A = this chain, B = another copy of it.
């Protein structure tokens, strides 16, 4: 059973990247090795060079496309931009092999925001998208609001948030 963690923004040095690392450790503590895909690593022109008629033709992008195709469970770390997920995350999904990538696989979603919503609508929208693609989404979707106030540089500093992530990892493993 192979796991992938997707850091859902291409912003450099993002809080989402830090959370991806924290999630990786939560899985490691349960004996599960999960690689992180940070969207900041994608080719900067992939929206043109790896989509539509160029789908599958960008060798750099294909490395990630292939990893997404082969994984069996996913964790998406999703910051709130403009009331939903980052556009680049959806563009990444638009560049994956369709319909082969997601059917009957399983994923967990984590939302975060500077504001008070915790990316609730973003997670609802993404659930629609993944369900459309045939992937089952775990019901428990922690919404980590006011994330900057609840983290130090490398750690979550909020017991409820930590507990929710622990619960989610356990449920994802059994899902």
A26 at the interface (CB under 8 A from B): no
B-binding residues in A (CB < 8 A): 10-12, 44-49, 51-53, 81-94, 98, 104, 116-118, 120-121, 124-125, 127-141, 143, 145, 171, 175
Contacts of A86 on B, CB cut-off 8 Å? 90-91, 94
Contacts of A45 on B, CB cut-off 8 Å? 44-45
CB distance from A66 to the nearest CB of B (A): 18
Contacts of A133 on B, CB cut-off 8 Å? 82-83, 139
Inter-chain contact B92/A52, CB cutoff 8 Å: no
On whether A94 and B121 interact (CB within 8 A), knowing A11-B52, A45-B45, A130-B139, the answer reads no
Complex CA–CA separation, A171 to B135 (angstroms): 12
On whether A82 and B87 interact (CB within 8 A), knowing A12-B52, A116-B145, A120-B120, the answer reads no
* Shortest Cβ distance from A52 into B: residue: B11
Complex CA–CA separation, A86 to B93 (angstroms): 10
Complex CA–CA separation, A139 to B12 (angstroms): 32
**Which 9 residue pairs across A and B have the least CB separation, nearest first?**
A83-B132, A87-B91, A87-B90, A44-B48, A44-B45, A131-B139, A125-B125, A45-B45, A11-B52
Complex CA–CA separation, A150 to B145 (angstroms): 19
CB distance from A34 to the nearest CB of B (A): 21
* Shortest Cβ distance from A14 into B: residue: B52
**CB < 8 Å: which of B48, B117, B129, B138 contacts A84?**
B129
Given contacts A87-B91, A117-B120, 6 further A-B contacts (CB under 8 A): A47-B91, A81-B90, A83-B133, A84-B129, A88-B94, A124-B128
